[in-house]
Amino acid sequence: MKNQTIGINGMNCMNCVGKIEKGVGALDGVLNLSIDLKGKSMTLDLDEGATPLSKVHETIGSLGFEVFEHKPKGFFGKIFKK
Ligand SMILES: [Cu+2]
């Protein structure tokens, strides 16, 4: 289980948040999902053996949103940036 923070563009209301919660929450190995609408970010604990991070990115994209960065908890630089 790794805690991840993912920056997401395109969310502008609670419906958007609900869509992502439902879509990403349905993936295996996702726990403690929480979305910060104002902060444009999502945090989750992810078991990458069940679902790779790329699948989470892909799911967010297929729902019509854009991932612009992600970082594991405690990592202060950016390891993924679009
Ligand atoms: Cu919305």
Domains, the chain, in order of start with CATH, read 2-75 (3.30.70.100)
Decide if 7 contacts 68 (C-beta within 8 A): yes
CA of 80 to the centre of ligand 1 (A): 25
The pLDDT tens digits for 40-71 are: 999 999 999 999 999 999 999 999 999 998 87
Cα–Cα distance between 13 and 29 in angstroms, integer? 26
Q: How far is the CA of 17 from the centre of ligand 1 (A)?
A: 7
- Rounded Cα distance between 81 and 49, Å, is 23
Q: How far is the CA of 38 from the centre of ligand 1 (A)?
A: 12
Please state the pTM of the whole predicted model.
0.85
